[in-house]
Amino acid sequence: MDERLTNRCACGWEITGPPEDVVTATIEHGQRLHNMTATREQILAQTVPAAGAAMPASPVEPETPSGGESPA
């Protein structure tokens, strides 16, 4: 299944689609409407999985050694 992301701007604009389409459209939107430029990494950091997309699994906490104490 293809990954789909959603990005929302504070102005109300929203894009949903494959990551590269979301990045390209967001860069164009920012430059055209807000005179702002964001990097690919900045955009991907603020995206969320599209509605209906599976959420990534939560990280698993490491087990504590027997005795109940956390490693130093």
10-32 per-position pLDDT tens digit = 999 999 999 999 999 999 999 99
Residue 42 CA to residue 23 CA, distance in Å, equals: 9
Q: Does pLDDT of 7 surpass 50?
A: yes
Instruction: Quote the distance between the C-alpha of residue 62 and its chain's center.
Output: 25
Q: If you compute the radius of gyration of the chain from its CA atoms, what whole number of angstroms results?
A: 18
pTM for the structure as a whole: 0.69
Mean pLDDT of 45-61: 70
Residue 16 CA to residue 23 CA, distance in Å, equals: 10
